[in-house]
Each structure stands twice: as C-alpha cells, then as structure tokens.
Amino acid sequence: MDRYNERIMTGLRTAHGISLTELENDLGLRPDDLEPKAWADALAQGDLVSTPDGRYRIPETRWITGDRVASTLFHVDAL
C-alpha cells in the first residue's frame, strides 16, 4: 500500500498527474475504486481535473492544497 500512496502523492504533485490505468496495471489499485467518495468530491470541487491524455492532476491554482487532496485519496489496509 505504501507504493500506491507514494504514487498518488508524487504523481499529483506534478503537472503530469496520475493515470488510473497505469496505477491499476502496475499496482492493481485505483483511487476511484478504493476511495470513491473522496475521488468524486475532488473532481466535483475542482481539486482534480482530467487532462486530454486521460490523466488526472491538481490544477495549478490549487497546488497549495495538493497534499491535502492527495492524502484524501490514500488507502490504508484495515488490520
């Protein structure tokens, strides 16, 4: 799970963003499946936007809140 959370955090900190397909292919996990409410809320509030190439990123005007957005998409396995 650490690799997944790290990919979310680092990917969303860049203009390149994250690819749901790449996350699923590489790690078998997707934030829209693991944290559907947080994902939908981030999109609805404009904290995440889709790019023409199908990736998702935090818009430049909201980079200051990027860590907060990314942390809402982290997933922690229940013990």
What does the pLDDT read at residue 78? 43
State the residue for tokens 């900190």.
13
List Cβ neighbours of 40 (8 Å cut-off, separation of 6 or more): 32
Q: Which SS3 state, helix, strand or coil, does residue 47 take? A: coil
Candidates 1.10.10, 3.40.395, 1.10.150, 1.20.1250; CATH matching 2-72? 1.10.10
pLDDT at residue 69 is higher than 90: no
If one compares 75 and 15, the residue with the highest pLDDT of the two is 15
Q: Give CA 21 to chain center in angstroms.
A: 12
